């Protein structure tokens, strides 16, 4: 089995500075190791994380920066120790590509919570000191442990957003037992994450209510996504009518918003899971204590949950709503994402546009 040359150029799109403007960029991927898989990338989802680091919102961006951590593609070469994949298999890579593999979290399949810190798929520092570069590129080399099988009958374009948007809501929904048929779920925010939470909620047999500030999303939430109810969260009357009616809330909104009005909607013993990143979380202790309520946080998910989620989507024919774009449109897509002008996830057609 011939190993790829470490000098083989990889073609990608990178941001060079905090403007976040992306342009063509050639770089080298590492040589294939014995536990590695070389993946021809066919599709890559566009996540808000791409905006954050392309534009240096956290002050830690390392340029040139190649974004993208919702990666789907085809195995083109495997290392000699690789057992789960063969050339030609459909494969996915999510938000991290390495971890210590030795801590309690890694040992339990929660690698994203690695005690020493998981290595992000882009703008991370890998074990060898190199800066990771993401899926806005022609191929990637990743350790087998952080790769996921995509069933042949599941479209690769649909699979890409599952690797971040999908798992970010699936993992906490499963962890907090939001999969009990007949229970009631509220979904705050209807974007890339929120629309997947609605789809999972319905597949789990839940009664799903969508909360949004945008009344324009009502028709789509009810007719296309199958939500049972739509509430304009700024409408006091609509909110009051639902006090103590929900078993679960999953909060996908990253804009600042009050928490007490939502906590009031939970039944006694209800749970709110926060997966968005508002600038602060503020609520009255009474909102939590008086109803024996729980508020919890979550990021993406470990390798076990991620593979389970992909298989669940394939078995139940759950597909994200996507807009497929060429990579030349990526800068504009990031700007549209900031303006919330996407339904509900951009997916870059790497295979047919990155030449």
For 224-282, write each residue's pLDDT tens digit. Answer: 999 999 999 999 999 999 999 999 999 999 888 999 999 999 999 999 999 998 888 99
Dihedral class, residue 67 (left if φ above 0, else alpha if ψ from -120 to 50, else beta): beta
Predicted pLDDT at 283: 92
pLDDT digits (tens, 9 = 90+) for 14-31: 999 999 999 999 999 999
Domain 166-297 CATH class label: alpha beta
What does the alpha-carbon distance between residue 160 and residue 43 come to, in Å, rounded to a whole number? 6
CA atoms within 13 A on the CB side of 18: 6
Q: What is the CA radius of gyration of the chain?
A: 20
Domain 9-163+321-349 CATH class label: alpha beta
Q: How far apart are the first and last CA of the chain?
A: 26
Calculate the alpha carbon distances from 299 to 45, 173, 220, 221 in Å.
17, 12, 26, 24
Predicted pLDDT at 184: 97
Report which of 286, 300, 273 is spatially closest to residue 95, judged by C-alpha positions: 300
Predicted pLDDT at 128: 85
Predicted pLDDT at 9: 79
Domain ranges of the chain: 9-163+321-349, 166-297
Residues with Cβ < 8 Å from 206, sequence gap 6 or more?
178, 179, 180, 181, 182, 183, 184, 185, 248
Report which of 72, 272, 53 is spatially closest to residue 164, judged by C-alpha positions: 72
Residue 169's SS3 state is: helix
What does the alpha-carbon distance between residue 333 and residue 321 come to, in Å, rounded to a whole number? 15
Question: Contact, 213 vs 232, CB < 8 A?
Answer: yes
Predicted pLDDT at 7: 53
**DSSP-derived secondary structure letter, 132:** P
Predicted pLDDT at 279: 87
- The helix or strand, by DSSP H or E, that contains position 35, with its residue range, turns out to be none
Report which of 36, 41, 71 is spatially closest to residue 139, judged by C-alpha positions: 41
The pTM of the full predicted model, rounded to 2 decimals, is: 0.93
Residue ranges of the chain with per-residue pLDDT less than 50: 1-6
Pairing mode, strands 71-78 and 90-93: antiparallel
């Amino acid at each position: 089995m011939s190993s790829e040359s470490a000098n083989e150029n990889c073609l990608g799109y990178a941001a060079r500075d905090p403007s976040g403007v992306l342009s063509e960029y050639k770089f080298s991927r590492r040589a294939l190791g014995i536990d590695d898989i070389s993946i021809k990338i066919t599709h890559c989802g566009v996540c808000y994380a791409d905006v954050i680091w392309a534009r240096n919102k956290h002050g830690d961006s390392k340029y040139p920066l190649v974004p993208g951590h919702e990666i789907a593609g085809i195995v083109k070469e495997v290392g000699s120790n690789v057992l789960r994949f063969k050339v030609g298999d459909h494969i996915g890579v999510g938000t991290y590509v390495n971890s210590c593999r030795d801590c309690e979290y890694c040992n339990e399949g929660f690698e994203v919570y690695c005690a020493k810190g998981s290595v992000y798929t882009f703008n991370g520092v890998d074990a060898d000191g190199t800066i990771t570069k993401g899926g806005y590129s022609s191929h990637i080399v990743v350790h087998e442990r952080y790769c996921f099988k995509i069933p042949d009958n599941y479209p690769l374009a649909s699979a890409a957003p599952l690797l971040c948007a999908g798992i970010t809501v699936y993992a906490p929904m499963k962890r907090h037992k939001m999969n009990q048929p007949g229970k009631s779920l509220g979904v705050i925010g209807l974007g890339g994450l929120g629309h997947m939470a609605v789809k999972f909620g319905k597949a789990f047999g839940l009664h799903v209510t969508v909360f949004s500030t945008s009344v324009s999303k009502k028709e789509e939430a009810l007719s296309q996504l199958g939500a049972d109810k739509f509430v304009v969260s700024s409408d006091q009357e609509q909110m009051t009518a639902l006090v103590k009616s929900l078993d679960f809330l999953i909060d996908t909104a990253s804009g600042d918003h009050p928490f007490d009005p939502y906590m009031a909607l939970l039944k006694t013993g209800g749970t709110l899971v926060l997966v968005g990143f508002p600038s602060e979380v503020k609520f009255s202790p009474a909102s939590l204590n008086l109803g024996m309520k729980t508020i919890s946080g979550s990021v993406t998910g470990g390798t076990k949950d991620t593979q389970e989620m992909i298989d669940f989507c394939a078995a139940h024919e759950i597909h994200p709503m996507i807009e497929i774009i060429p990579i030349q449109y990526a800068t504009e897509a990031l700007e549209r994402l900031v303006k919330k002008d996407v339904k509900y996830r951009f997916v870059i057609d790497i295979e047919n546009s990155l030449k």
